Amino acid sequence: MALDEYKPQSGGAELDGERKSFDYVGTRPERPDGLDKVTGRAKFGADAHAPGMLFGAVVRSPHAHARILRIDTSKAEALDGVKAIVTRADFATGLTGEFANVLENVMAGEKALYDGHAVAAVAATSALAARDAVKLIEVEYEVLPHVTDVDAAMAPDAPVINDSYADASVPEGFNANVVRYHESGHGDVEAGFAEADMVFEDTFKTEATHQGYIEPHACLGSLGNDGKGELWCCTQGHWYAQKYCAALLGLETSQLRVTASEIGGGFGGKTTVFIEPVALALSRKANRPVKLVMSRSEVLRATGPTSSASMDIKIGFKTDGTITAAEGTFRLQGGAFPGAPMEFSAMCAFACYDLKNVRQVGYDVVANRPKQAAYRAPGAPMAAFAVESVIDMACNKMGLDPIEVRLKNAARDGSKASYGPRFDQIGMVATLEAAKAHPHYAAPLEPGQGRGVASGFWFNHGGETSVSLALSEDGTAQVSVGTPDIGGSRASMALMAAEVLGIPYENIRVTIADTATLGYNDVSHGSRVTYASGLATIKAARAAVEKLCQRAAAKWGIPEDAVKWENGCAVPSGPNAGDFDPMPLADITATMGQTGGPISGHFEATPEGAGVSFGTHIVDAEVDPETGATKIVRYTVVQDAGKAVHPTYVEGQYQGGAAQGIGWALNEEYIYGEDGRLQNTVFLDYRIPVASDLPMIDAVIVEVPNPGHPFGVRGVGETGIVPPLAAIANAVSNAAGVRLKSLPMSPPKILEALEAGGDA
């Protein structure tokens, strides 16, 4: 979820109170897009093609920080097949705020701000010609001092990225690289620490990690001199792409039609634009469609990883495990632009617990790295790593059970959240109880193994949502949603529509509509799709059902409110009960053209009842003390789904969060050389876990209904990556017998920690 789009959820009272069971929701049918994906028929970003299409390529800065003195394109222009070259001069001017930041990131202006920053682009008749042309574009740089580490970037003498970034929130006396400040909490932490029997305090660091989606960014743009354009791209939000591309190119938003392709993973990293405005700028200049596809190394150098973090945590405990006060400072480095999600770190850090005294501080720090992008629960996993590590250290020291201590302090229905509001109906205790009862928690450990437990929290999000549902004459339905399907959401939408309409799942086709054919939709982020598009699908289906009942009432000559909808049929009710045979949906739609016209339903709103979500993970790790190698031997995820619409895909989200967390915890990291260049720009050295690195991950679905959704749904996509860093660090620390405080816990770091000694 992008920082500027987060809206605190005010809650809601949408839950169907009388519902006892479901016919379709909670079943596990095959996903509608499955066959296309396994047979290769599905069209991903790079599959777009247009007659006369050109191929684009991007010139990128080899320097971490450099003034651009001169760009000479003459040799490239002379190359056979080159049709257009663009630089910053080919984009809109006068932009402010996030539009200006995104433009600066998409195409550098006066300075290159990180290794891989785009400085020019070329379109040619073949991909090879475009590649050759890139090599012929001469860029003269004045190399400037750079900084890539978060703590180093805050130092008084650190090179300044941009002295106009800092906003009014930043207290006096900081380096200009500190661009935003956050403070929140309640109670009196000093008094709370004074009440404590023991106070634990430590500092933690995490490296930036990439979302690691399989599909690199790819798009095809076509833009004429009349300001009308088309864009096909792989994105989590095509209305966002429409809005930003239009702004960056000086177009009217509605004149640019954007179609989202199938998506090979996003995890937050495709909630913004990188190459899309560039393809359109090239197309406008060449007057031909232009395709741009990133290589993996471009993805790693120039798209958004998550932030790196440096954090201080202090927690006071009574000897029985009761927390008397908690305090955290979160310094997040988000690349060369403001926006590191430090307030999410701060707000989520202690949200699992009902605390009398809590205070959290955040710093948004810029450095010479690519602009961070959202990555699953942005800001929350690193905060949980720091906080849950301290709780584990305290449990070890005080000889207390880690689940019991969490239960003792757990946030409950009505608790005042560490970030302000009061919780509604929540599942924190339920996930802890389920974890405690799981056989994993009682299973014996082998020598050399250690167990870790950690909990995590994520807000979840609603967002602007439009859904349209149309019935066909044959009694089937088509649903148009505007949220790209990043986790099986078309199956979930079809299940929810089937539940309301009472027709089989297979009779419903769900399509991701383009920007010209549906109202505005916020991005597929914030774990919002099954919640918000699902709620809108249910309401759109209910609107259609209302019309179906009206048609039946008219046919029977009885009042509209004397017809109810049951099992896919209009049924007379009340005084007319039993007067007529139930009328199936297909009988009504067969003649709908003659009984009042086509029947459809739609719904547009910004729902604000996305229920918060909690999870608790149990991990067993084995550490080889001679090499520092770690093996994750057992992993159990317990998480509240509210209501699992398609349990298989809910389990998939849980497992995916754990898998990405294992990578983040153990081996993934951005490695910068002394020269500020990224050293590991391919998957060989950017070490995401491979299948054989992972155990089978057990997924336990807890269902504490969300009052803000008709069926009780809570988003499940992000919470699953919040506890893993901490749960794994706790397991590794307990296995190694020393405390690991810096991620990734790579083998050399584990050996260093073993050599240094200390307690777990």
Question: Which residues make up the interface to another protein (CB under 8 A)?
Answer: 297, 626-629, 666-667, 671, 679-680, 683-685, 687, 689-690, 692-693, 746-748, 751
CB burial of residue 49 (10 Å; 0-12, 13-18, 19+): exposed
Which two tokens mark 674?
A: 């002394």
Min dist CB 663 to another protein, Å, is 9
Min dist CB 690 to another protein, Å, is 5
CB neighbours (10 Å) of residue 715?
29
CB neighbours (10 Å) of residue 367?
30
For another protein, the closer CB: 442 or 690: 690
Which two tokens mark 687?
A: 């070490």
Min dist CB 680 to another protein, Å, is 5
- Cβ-Cβ contacts under 8 Å for 174 (sequence gap 6 or more): 154, 166, 363
For another protein, the closer CB: 634 or 714: 634
> DSSP strand E in 126-197: where?
138-143, 178-186
Min dist CB 626 to another protein, Å, is 5
In 3D, which of 219, 274, 233, 226 has the Cα closest to residue 251?
A: 226
- Identify residue 431 by its one-letter amino acid code: T
CB neighbours (10 Å) of residue 644?
26
For another protein, the closer CB: 636 or 681: 681
- The crossing angle, in degrees rounded to 10, of helices 238-249 and 97-106 is 80
Min dist CB 746 to another protein, Å, is 6
DSSP label of 302: H
What is the radius of gyration, based on Cα positions, of the chain?
27
Cα 676 vs. chain centroid, distance in angstroms?
A: 27
For another protein, the closer CB: 287 or 297: 297
Min dist CB 630 to another protein, Å, is 9
In 3D, which of 720, 533, 705, 719 has the Cα closest to residue 22?
A: 705
For another protein, the closer CB: 35 or 671: 671
Min dist CB 732 to another protein, Å, is 13
For another protein, the closer CB: 271 or 681: 681
Min dist CB 365 to another protein, Å, is 24
For another protein, the closer CB: 342 or 666: 666
For another protein, the closer CB: 57 or 179: 57
Min dist CB 127 to another protein, Å, is 11
For another protein, the closer CB: 546 or 693: 693
In 3D, which of 733, 727, 728 has the Cα closest to residue 754?
A: 733
Q: Where are the alpha helices (DSSP H) in 366-452?
A: 380-398, 402-409, 428-437, 439-442
**Residue 647, preceding peptide bond in cis (omega within 30° of 0):** no
CA–CA gap between residue 678 and residue 236 (Å, rounded): 26
For 466, how many CA atoms within 13 A lie in the half-sphere containing its CB?
13
For another protein, the closer CB: 590 or 694: 694
Min dist CB 297 to another protein, Å, is 8
Min dist CB 66 to another protein, Å, is 21
SS3 sequence of 547-601: HHHHHHHHHHCCCHHHEEEECCEEEECHHHCCCCCCEEHHHHHHCCCCCCCCCEE
Min dist CB 13 to another protein, Å, is 49
CA–CA gap between residue 715 and residue 650 (Å, rounded): 9
For another protein, the closer CB: 555 or 687: 687
Min dist CB 295 to another protein, Å, is 9
SS3 619: strand
Min dist CB 627 to another protein, Å, is 5
For another protein, the closer CB: 272 or 746: 746
Token pair 């056989």 is found at 439
Cα 387 vs. chain centroid, distance in angstroms?
A: 21
SS3 701: strand
Min dist CB 301 to another protein, Å, is 13
Cα 125 vs. chain centroid, distance in angstroms?
A: 36
SS3 454: strand
The dihedral sign for the CA sequence 64, 69, 73, 75: negative
DSSP label of 317: E
In 3D, which of 622, 730, 661 has the Cα closest to residue 393?
A: 730
For another protein, the closer CB: 13 or 690: 690
CA–CA gap between residue 754 and residue 751 (Å, rounded): 5
CA–CA gap between residue 700 and residue 596 (Å, rounded): 48
CB neighbours (10 Å) of residue 594?
7
For another protein, the closer CB: 493 or 666: 666
For another protein, the closer CB: 57 or 562: 57
Total residues found in the chain within this entry = 760
Min dist CB 689 to another protein, Å, is 7
φ/ψ of 739, rounded to 5, equals -85, 125
Min dist CB 2 to another protein, Å, is 31
For another protein, the closer CB: 312 or 693: 693
- Identify residue 696 by its one-letter amino acid code: M
For another protein, the closer CB: 420 or 748: 748
DSSP label of 532: I
